[in-house]
Amino acid sequence: MLLSDRDILALIRLGELVVEPLFDDTVRENGLDLRLGRGYCLLRPRRGVVDPEEPPGPLELYDCREAGAGGIVVPPGRRVLLHTLEYIRLPPYLAGLVNLRSTWARLGIYIPATVVDAGFEGQLTIEVVGSEFPVRLRPGQRFLHLVLARLATPAANPYSGAYKGQRGVRLPKIFETHTTR
């Protein structure tokens, strides 16, 4: 069952669902609108094979930065890791489905299917695939829509993996120590 705005607000008031910061326009009819944070990592072009068992250094694969006054320009067809401004905490009976807000999709930006597991907490790291033309994004813009679904029963093992509590862009687990803010 998907949660409505009334369900979401009730869970926030009870402290079962945490969204920080929470803005007046965060809670929507059927989910949460989440904003862009400042950190981003542009994936570097690479010809060689990347083996997760023997990874190169993260600087060989990513150019990580903080957005300045000009924001973040997503180059055509390139992949960028971004993060949400909001830190969220889901209870063990809620999971989330991350969608791009339609304004950005209409500009040709794409995000792969992303699920937020029951029990997750942290800022979300999202992969964005560029459009046919450069698109400028600015920290603080509403960018993602998180639809929340109630599980039939609470998860027996809520999320407790390596990404729990993350802040900023979190690179893949193969680079365990690297995070950008």
pLDDT per residue over 156-167, tens digit each? 999 999 999 999
Half-sphere exposure of 21 (CA within 13 A, CB side): 9
- Cα distance between residue 87 and residue 165, in whole Å: 9
Q: What is the mean pLDDT of residues 19-23?
A: 98
Percent of all residues in the chain with a pLDDT value above 90, rounded to a whole number: 85
Confidence (pLDDT) at 107: 96
Q: What is the pTM of this model?
A: 0.91
DSSP labels, 39-79: EEEEEPP--SPP-TTS---HHHHEEEEE-BTTBEEE-TT-E
Choice among 54, 127, 132, 176 that is catalytic: 127
Query: What are 73-105's pLDDT values in tens digits?
Result: 999 999 999 999 999 999 999 999 999 999 999
CATH topology of domain 5-45+58-155: Deoxyuridine 5'-Triphosphate Nucleotidohydrolase; Chain A (2.70.40)
| Closest CA relative to residue 117, chosen from 142, 98, 144, 143 | 98
Is residue 127 annotated as part of the catalytic site, yes or no? yes
Half-sphere exposure of 38 (CA within 13 A, CB side): 8
Query: What are 144-153's pLDDT values in tens digits?
Result: 999 999 999 9
Residues 6+ away with beta carbon under 8 Å from 58: 64, 171, 175, 178
The pLDDT confidence band at residue 174, using thresholds 50, 70 and 90, is confident
Confidence (pLDDT) at 56: 81
- Cα distance between residue 40 and residue 99, in whole Å: 18
